Chains A and B, each alone.
Chain A
């Protein structure tokens, strides 16, 4: 099973709402990632978790709050977002510490902030 699942597929939220994105994998990967992708642009790394600990935060605004409750799950909590945060949010996972660290991506959550 090389699948990364993400829910929901689509999300519309107002600027005062609180919502969460969820990502799950069962490949035994101990590294998990959140990326943001705007239309016609490549993905931009937001956060990396390694062994359930936050290892990289790419200076992401605090209105995005990641959480890794266990080795299979990754959440992204959203609060007080801005319209410019509308994008495709991608989750990925990989093994840690091997040169053949292929990242497996989920299908993404398309977020629209009104």
Chain B
């Protein structure tokens, strides 16, 4: 069964800290992996997408890596800010049909 797991479920850090969010997936035959951000009661905002042939993607203070052999992806956030507070979801796709398998999310709180 294809499953995606995110640890920890919640994380609280002081402003300015660098942090890593973890995502693991059971089936390494991944098509791509996406990281999303969701603010309370809102839709999802796409942050980064890593194709199966790539090892990492960067956007501003965000860096996502993909290690298919170990079934892991990480999202690195540099110099965290209170505005980064949100739930972060990773989602794996195994074909071009578009079905995403989501992790349970990590709820991040960045304290001023």
Contacts and interface: CB of A to CB of B under 8 A. Distances in A.
Is B a genuine binding partner of A?
Answer: yes
Contacts of B41: 88, 108, 110
Contact of A103 (B52, B53, B100, B104): B100
B78 interface: no
B44 A33 contact: no
Given A99-B31, A99-B32, A48 B97 contact: yes
A106 interface: yes
Contacts of A104: 46
B98 interface: yes
Contacts of B51: 99-100
B34 interface: yes
Contacts, number: 71
A45 B2 CA distance: 14
Given A42-B104, A48-B99, A101 B93 contact: yes
B99 A56 contact: yes
Nearest to B105: A42
Interface string B25-59: 00000011010100001111110010111000000
Contacts of A102: 34, 46, 49
Interface string B49-84: 101110000000000000000000000000000000
Interface string A71-114: 00000000000000000101010101111111111111010000
Interface residues of B, number: 26
Q: Chain A: interface residue count, which band?
A: 20 to 34
B89 interface: yes
Contacts of B96: 96-99, 101
A50 interface: yes
B98 A94 contact: yes
Interface of B: 31-32, 34, 36, 41-46, 49, 51-53, 89, 91, 93, 96-100, 102-105
24 contacts: A6-B43, A41-B104, A42-B91, A42-B103, A42-B104, A43-B89, A45-B99, A50-B97, A56-B97, A56-B99, A92-B44, A96-B98, A99-B32, A101-B49, A101-B93, A102-B34, A102-B46, A103-B46, A105-B36, A105-B43, A107-B43, A108-B41, A108-B43, A110-B41
